[in-house]
Structure 1
Amino acid sequence: MKRSMLSLTALLTAALTGAALAQQPASTFTVVRPTQWGAYNLNPFAPGDQHLLPTNSVIYESLFYVSTLNGKVTPVLGTKYAWSKDNKTLTVTTRGGVTWHDGKPFSANDVAFTFNYLKQFPALDTSGLWKNGLTSVKATNANTVTFNFNKANTPIFQYVAGQMIVPQHIWANVKDPVTDTNQKAVGTGPFTFDSYSQQALRVLKNPNYWMKGQPYVDAVVWLATNSNDAALLKLLKGEADYGYVGVSDPKGMYASKGPNNQYWWPVTGDNYLYFNTTKAPFNDAAFRRAVSQAINTADVAQKAYAGVAKPSHPSGIIPAQQAQWLPANASSLAVKFNAAAADAALTKAGYRKNAQGARLGKDGKALPAFKILVGAGWTDFITMAQVISENLKKVGINTQIDQQAWSSYSGGLQTANYDMGISWGWGGGPTPYYLYYQSFSPEFSAAVGKTAPSNLAHYSSPAITQALAQYRATSDAAAQKKAIGTIATTVMRDMPWLPLTDRSEFSLYSTARFTGFPNAQNPYNAGTADDTPGARLMYLNVKPKK
């Protein structure tokens, strides 16, 4: 270990320049990143792939952190919030005793300024707050901000909560916040930016941070690699403490290689087989349901991910949210793999077989070989499609695997130019509402040939649309659960998609030098990547081993 850390120190010395190197931090938490980052940009309004990794994880802070795993709300610059009785006014109490990195005090005025800044420069409003009912944001005193809406839309809280807050005394003088690279970043976060190169980034502990005694480490360093394999090697060699690295077998390839090697891959989404509901026979719910029953999702998961990922719940609701949100009758509605029952259900629905065992359409003509759209070279999705093809052949349905480059793959799904297609859910959040809203709301669909933002099945249901509206209009937990129950049961009955396998986050970490990582026993964040707001909680909680 001493040899590994010595080589790491040499690497950092070569990669990082500046006077700060004259005084090495007492403890440095090292993150390996299987990517090459871009230009020196610390603009918190810039998209995530344009600003550097520490920007919105340790330099700037939001009002609250809302876990996409279980919906838990953690106070940050906001300490509490409340909706009015008509759910059109959100009142947030901001934290006192906070200072910006330059020593100036933070207040509710900075919060109001930030949100009004989004209105002034619409290109910054990437969550569409001002397009979705927000009418005014005002600081009523130094510690209170009110958000007024022209309609009830309580799920918008997640986007209010997650907006990075900037200091008014600096950004009011920025002429073009869309393109400004903000290289002298001033935030309220636990670390300040120190050094930049294409090989390594470093931030240093904020000695005046508002959480007394935290963070426990003096510096965080990000190291760049050109591949997952290279990142994994640095972890195995003890040259990094954490990496968000996707590998096919985290247990066999990492955890089993050393006593301090651990991983936490919480499920935050699913992979789906989407049906193009704009064309026959996929516009027939009975056909979709029978096809779904013919597919062995346990086998799909085992062969695609060697048992690391499990088969999804038929509702699409992730495991951490099922106890709270699944309706009582979910089990009775769930499609269960049964090839014989699927064969009989297809015949009953009007899709009988001919003498050769080929499945016919309702018009008596043989069904064509349907294409299963996947991304070109995506081995996990290709494997899933192979299993699905084998399953469907047993009930008289022939398929072909259609590999397409990203543009035609995503474009095919979005424009309804496909039969069946495998993809992840293009939506998700702290409750099932966000997945269902982005997946099935009519506003996210489009006519055939036009681009649907995220409703890839091009499916809508009056019952779902009404239930989504009911959820938005209330902040009452019981009423929201009832709405989700309606949506889940409708989805499980109509099967516009078939949930195939879980999708996980990819956190690998070593406890050789640090403790306090999030895990299944202490899921204080959602296991998300090292440049996300949730990662801030990891950087605050990891402690050097004594």
Structure 2
Amino acid sequence: MRKLLTLTAVLAAALTVSAHAQQPKNVFTVVRPTQWGAQNFNPFAPGDQHLLPTNSAIYESLFYVNTLNGKVTPVLGTKYTWSADNKTLTVSTRPGVKWHDGSAFSARDAAFTFNYLKQYPALDTSAIWKNGLAGAKATNDTTLVLTFSKANTTIFPYIAGQMIVPEAIWSKITSPLTETNAKPVGTGPFTFDAYSQQALRVLKNPNYWMKGQPYIDAVVWVSTNSNDAALLKLLKGEADYGYVGQADPVNGYQKKGPNNQFWWPVTGDNYLYFNTTKAPFNDPAFRRALSQGVNTANVAEKAYAGAAKAAHSSGIIPGQQAQWLPAGTASLKYDMAAADAALTRAGYKKNAQGVRLGKDGKPLPTFKILVGAGWTDFITMAQVVGGDLKKIGLNTQIDQQAWSSYSGGLQTGTFDMGISWGWGGGPTPYYLFNQSFGPEYSAAVGKTAPSNLSRYTNPAVTAALTQFQSTSDTAAQKKAMATIVRAVMTDMPWLPLTDRSEFSNYSTVRFTGFPTAQNPYNSGTADDTAGARLMYLNVKPK
């Protein structure tokens, strides 16, 4: 108990003295390897500007959509229906909910929130209005009606995840971009209590609409200056939860104590992006042959010591494959001899020295593989990829760049090959493919592409994406997805290398009820996300 008492003393010193006479009993402690800034609880501000509890404990959305499996959990909304033409979304909102100041929540607050995004477009970071929302109104206290100029059912997760604010307060705020909202009023399971540069605390909302929940009295966040320092607090039992990346979570954390657990669900992949605007990467046959010549299982093993697996070459994550991967779609098999033969067959022969030649008969140049500077996992991936490509006659060089030039190179199309995560994702593969290959997410070389890093477009893929978003019929969506998968796996504008996981680590010394593979009630996302709200609601003191 000495360590926990020591931490309690540290928190008492770090936090402003609360007006509450009695200190909370069951305090859930989260360790965060970051340094936070000013006291900002503006739910419209970007995640790196508002404080951690804002969208995880204080404010709430209409629904929570689990990106692992697409499951929809009601929050301030209780049910939703699309009209026959998929141009009207009707949401029933929850009765009996109170804002933290005691006033009643209603559908009118939800309608105000969406219209507020229209009034101040800079707040609409999900581009809800640009993607077809035409009107938002409450027809009564428990009915929200959203109308659309075009059918776009795939907008639902963005509608569902929008944090709802009270009209009575925010209608008076005319500069929402700079508003710090130091005393937030939400509907969430916790209310703001105290804050310092080392720790911050929220207290259980005694009037929360879920009777009997949360089971804990408070959540405290403690900051550290590194992943290692955060992990040490978990190992010492000084924290209950930490979103902390590690090279080897089994040996580095789980095996160091009987109560040390981690759940790292796969929510995306890491990719080798090919710049399809440059020869020879503009040749699908060349890209496919390279993809066949890379041993992605070895890439995953070397980069993550078995904590991550090789990705399926469709790019569809494991939790979505059963529903969305067309039956019988096998991952591209590593075969160096086949890759070598395919390159020759496509017109890229070898000279007497074993160097691969272009179609013009001249030796191909040394290709650069762009990675983030110091990112050991990506650097390791690039080393394995380069070694494999060397075996089929291609020379590569690792190009480490600081974040601004790394991301800038990917987005402006000045790279040859680059390793990065998927710049898109959601509860179905549509979100990944749309943001990765949609024409609107691309740009001319030298201009900034929001997320289509390979600058690959295909009329068949574009049409299928439109077909998918215009229907709520699952069978029709699966047919469209099959078209997309076939095209992408044929053209290989990228090579999915490894699965990419969330980093939820927790200690069961004092609490139970964490999300697990057996009970994935959230997607394992970080402590400041909407999914974390479900963790704060479900963890129970032992």
Give TM-score scaled by structure 2 length. Answer: 0.99
Match status 1:471 vs 2:468: yes
Deviations 1:67-99 (A, max 9, x none): 111111000000000111111110000001111
Conservation of the 8 A alpha-carbon contact between 1:154 and 1:475: yes
Match status 1:162 vs 2:161: yes
Amino acid in the other structure paired with 1:96 = P
Aligned counterpart, 1:59:
58
Q: State the distance in 2 between where 1:283 and 1:132 align.
A: 30
Q: State the distance in 1 between where 2:538 and 2:321 align.
A: 28
Q: CA deviation at 1:20?
A: 3.6
Q: State the distance in 2 between where 1:345 and 1:473 align.
A: 39
Conservation of the 8 A alpha-carbon contact between 1:374 and 1:409: yes
- After TM superposition, the structure 1 = structure 2 runs for residues 25-104 of structure 1, keeping only pairs within 5 Å, are 25-104=24-103
Conservation of the 8 A alpha-carbon contact between 1:373 and 1:418: yes
Conservation of the 8 A alpha-carbon contact between 1:289 and 1:335: no
Q: State the distance in 2 between where 1:41 and 1:411 align.
A: 29
Q: State the distance in 2 between where 1:174 and 1:415 align.
A: 37
Conservation of the 8 A alpha-carbon contact between 1:358 and 1:397: yes
Aligned counterpart, 1:115:
114
Q: State the distance in 2 between where 1:449 and 1:176 align.
A: 34
Q: CA deviation at 1:19?
A: 3.2
Aligned counterpart, 1:537:
534
SS in 2 for 1:534: helix
- Deviating more after overlay: 193-202 vs 347-356: 347-356
- After TM superposition, the structure 1 = structure 2 runs for residues 267-278 of structure 1, keeping only pairs within 5 Å, are 267-278=266-277
Q: CA deviation at 1:21?
A: 6.1
Structure 1 runs of 4+ aligned residues shifted over 6 Å read: none
Aligned counterpart, 1:393:
390
Aligned counterpart, 1:524:
521
SS in 2 for 1:137: strand
Q: State the distance in 2 between where 1:413 and 1:178 align.
A: 29
Match status 1:403 vs 2:400: yes
Q: CA deviation at 1:410?
A: 1.1
Q: CA deviation at 1:245?
A: 0.5
Q: State the distance in 1 between where 2:484 and 2:35 align.
A: 41
Conservation of the 8 A alpha-carbon contact between 2:18 and 2:194: no
Aligned counterpart, 1:216:
215
Q: State the distance in 2 between where 1:423 and 1:473 align.
A: 30
Q: State the distance in 1 between where 2:374 and 2:402 align.
A: 9
Q: State the distance in 1 between where 2:500 and 2:168 align.
A: 42
Q: CA deviation at 1:407?
A: 1.4
Q: State the distance in 2 between where 1:415 and 1:33 align.
A: 33
Q: State the distance in 2 between where 1:535 and 1:350 align.
A: 52
Q: State the distance in 1 between where 2:31 and 2:180 align.
A: 24
- After TM superposition, the structure 1 = structure 2 runs for residues 143-158 of structure 1, keeping only pairs within 5 Å, are 143-158=142-157
Amino acid in the other structure paired with 1:348 = R
Q: State the distance in 2 between where 1:396 and 1:254 align.
A: 41
Amino acid in the other structure paired with 2:381 = M
Q: CA deviation at 1:184?
A: 1.3
SS in 1 for 2:271: strand
Match status 1:503 vs 2:503: no
Conservation of the 8 A alpha-carbon contact between 1:87 and 1:474: yes
Query: Among 442, 459, 468, which residue is 2:439 paired with?
Result: 442
Q: State the distance in 2 between where 1:16 and 1:409 align.
A: 38
Deviations 1:131-181 (A, max 9, x none): 111111010111101101100111111110000001111111123222111
Q: State the distance in 2 between where 1:57 and 1:324 align.
A: 29
Amino acid in the other structure paired with 1:428 = G
- After TM superposition, the structure 1 = structure 2 runs for residues 222-301 of structure 1, keeping only pairs within 5 Å, are 222-301=221-300
Provide the alpha-carbon RMSD of the alignment: 0.8
Q: State the distance in 2 between where 1:417 and 1:177 align.
A: 36
Aligned counterpart, 1:325:
324
Amino acid in the other structure paired with 1:459 = Y
Q: State the distance in 2 between where 1:388 and 1:121 align.
A: 46
Q: State the distance in 2 between where 1:363 and 1:175 align.
A: 62
Q: Percent identity?
A: 77
Aligned counterpart, 1:12:
11
Conservation of the 8 A alpha-carbon contact between 2:308 and 2:498: yes
Aligned counterpart, 1:136:
135
Q: CA deviation at 1:22?
A: 3.8
SS in 2 for 1:132: coil
Q: State the distance in 1 between where 2:508 and 2:373 align.
A: 37
Q: State the distance in 2 between where 1:411 and 1:493 align.
A: 28
Cα distance, 1:236–1:20 mapped onto 2, change above 3 Å:
farther
SS in 2 for 1:165: coil
Aligned counterpart, 2:483:
486
Query: Among 336, 354, 358, which residue is 2:355 paired with?
Result: 358
Match status 1:515 vs 2:512: yes
Which ranges of structure 2 fall in alignment gaps of 5 or more residues? Answer: none
Deviations 1:280-303 (A, max 9, x none): 111111110000111000010000
Deviations 1:228-253 (A, max 9, x none): 00000000111000000011111111
Conservation of the 8 A alpha-carbon contact between 1:192 and 1:205: yes
Q: State the distance in 2 between where 1:212 and 1:19 align.
A: 25
Q: CA deviation at 1:385?
A: 0.6
Number of residue pairs matched by the alignment = 542
Conservation of the 8 A alpha-carbon contact between 1:136 and 1:147: yes
Q: State the distance in 2 between where 1:125 and 1:423 align.
A: 26
SS in 2 for 1:372: strand
Conservation of the 8 A alpha-carbon contact between 1:372 and 1:399: yes
Conservation of the 8 A alpha-carbon contact between 2:410 and 2:418: yes
Q: State the distance in 2 between where 1:58 and 1:90 align.
A: 27
Amino acid in the other structure paired with 2:427 = P
Q: State the distance in 2 between where 1:94 and 1:324 align.
A: 29
Amino acid in the other structure paired with 1:464 = V
Conservation of the 8 A alpha-carbon contact between 1:78 and 1:95: yes
SS in 2 for 1:322: helix
Q: CA deviation at 1:329?
A: 3.6
Conservation of the 8 A alpha-carbon contact between 2:18 and 2:193: no
SS in 1 for 2:154: helix
Q: State the distance in 1 between where 2:179 and 2:403 align.
A: 30
Match status 1:452 vs 2:461: no
Q: CA deviation at 1:485?
A: 1.2
- Deviating more after overlay: 122-131 vs 238-247: 122-131
Conservation of the 8 A alpha-carbon contact between 2:513 and 2:540: yes
Amino acid in the other structure paired with 1:467 = A
- Deviating more after overlay: 174-183 vs 153-162: 174-183
Conservation of the 8 A alpha-carbon contact between 2:371 and 2:379: yes
Match status 1:429 vs 2:426: yes
Q: State the distance in 1 between where 2:20 and 2:145 align.
A: 44
Aligned counterpart, 2:304:
305
Conservation of the 8 A alpha-carbon contact between 1:13 and 1:21: no
Q: State the distance in 1 between where 2:443 and 2:67 align.
A: 27
SS in 1 for 2:534: helix
Which ranges of structure 1 fall in alignment gaps of 5 or more residues? Answer: none
SS in 2 for 1:384: helix
Q: CA deviation at 1:18?
A: 2.0
SS in 2 for 1:19: coil
Q: State the distance in 2 between where 1:80 and 1:235 align.
A: 39
Q: State the distance in 2 between where 1:492 and 1:14 align.
A: 57
Q: CA deviation at 1:480?
A: 0.8
